[in-house]
Structure 1
């Protein structure tokens, strides 16, 4: 009786180990679920299907056409959309009907004075100088040629007042947190 139970537990252990050690089946990407959308932000490594070819994003960008811009690398074969791939964008596309929502600005982006019951207000920090090599998120500010700008899109080297579509918005008072732009 004990011998029979020991064998069963051994087989159960073997089956459990086999289940955890078996690689999951890779599935090729579906072109319809990965179609390029011009208004969408694409992080590095994101794959899309455009005009019969597969492309992978090299860096964070929006509106760059696959095959026409450096930001995309053409793939030689259909990418794997199986295990380990983040398909959150696919669910977003399905639920939103392909509509892209702008990323929200971080809560501390404006560095406005903060007052708590037992503390004095903190002073607003002057934004740093804009850098071509910098990477900016929505809401971050930078000074370029004496003018303060707030990022309205993620920016990787797009110069304030020069890039299209615009990535920056001029700001009169960096400590107002955008209140002057609330038209």
Structure 2
């Protein structure tokens, strides 16, 4: 049975800490670097390479296709895949060219599948948000803007709208 190599994931509070660790050779080259406060995922190297759309001080991948990225990078497909999967797990946007490296849902373990929504699941949630929001708008119209429930209904509508936006903006 062929086993997969476990990826090393380092977490940092700031990109400057992560950058310093990469420059000083403190990290295993190709390991995943997470700076959650800045919504940045990268791969350890000198300089580190950004996996996420937000790059900070990390160098982005410049290729527009999987083969171009592999040609220009010192990182292999498995390393890039680990970074892309971590970015999706964290909910951070990934450039379209890197999305091709993601583990297909069908290849994921049952535990990993729990955390990734399919496009059908996202659309179902968006539709549910829209239906509930419409219901709240109708109730608000009947109750009147001066009613006690108006503030609660308006806050609920705002929360549903924000959730809908997040679902539609999140990479699948």
TM superposition score normalised by structure 2: 0.23
Q: Which one has the bigger helix percentage?
A: 2
Q: Which one has the bigger strand percentage?
A: 1
TM superposition score normalised by structure 1: 0.22
Q: Which has the larger radius of gyration?
A: 1
